[in-house]
Amino acid sequence: GAVVSQHPSWVICKSGTSVKIECRSLDFQATTMFWYRQFPKQSLMLMATSNEGSKATYEQGVEKDKFLINHASLTLSTLTVTSAHPEDSSFYICSANLLAGGPYEQYFGPGTRLTVT
């Protein structure tokens, strides 16, 4: 149980275009989903916390107009990288925690590798 999927698993796009990444909780409902970015040989960096039906909470230094997050249902959150640039190339990972119960474990999706050319 507690499976999180992401789509696409990898994407290559041209500079200036937008890319949408989907994160789905397949067998549970997630009130909260998290979006992380990870550059090579670095740790996970939390970008934003996404709550179903409300605006996402962005971490300091993350541009909310560039990284659009929508959490339309209890099983789906999307991250759209707008006007992508090569420096946005990274590994984007989403996670979700169960609606109820502990120990507040986060279940991670498999990640999306974005390359902007």
Contact flag: residue 27 with another protein (CB under 8 A): no
What is each CA distance from 17 to 6, 42, 80, 97, in whole angstroms? 20, 26, 10, 31
3-state secondary structure of 40: coil
Report the residue number, 82 or 108, with the smaller CB distance to another protein.
Answer: 108
Q: Which of 14, 43, 61, 65 binds another protein (CB under 8 A)?
A: 43
Contact flag: residue 104 with another protein (CB under 8 A): yes
Contact flag: residue 42 with another protein (CB under 8 A): yes
Write out the two tokens for 48.
């934003």
DSSP 88: G
Residues forming the site for another protein (CB under 8 A) = 34, 42-46, 49, 91, 93, 103-111, 113
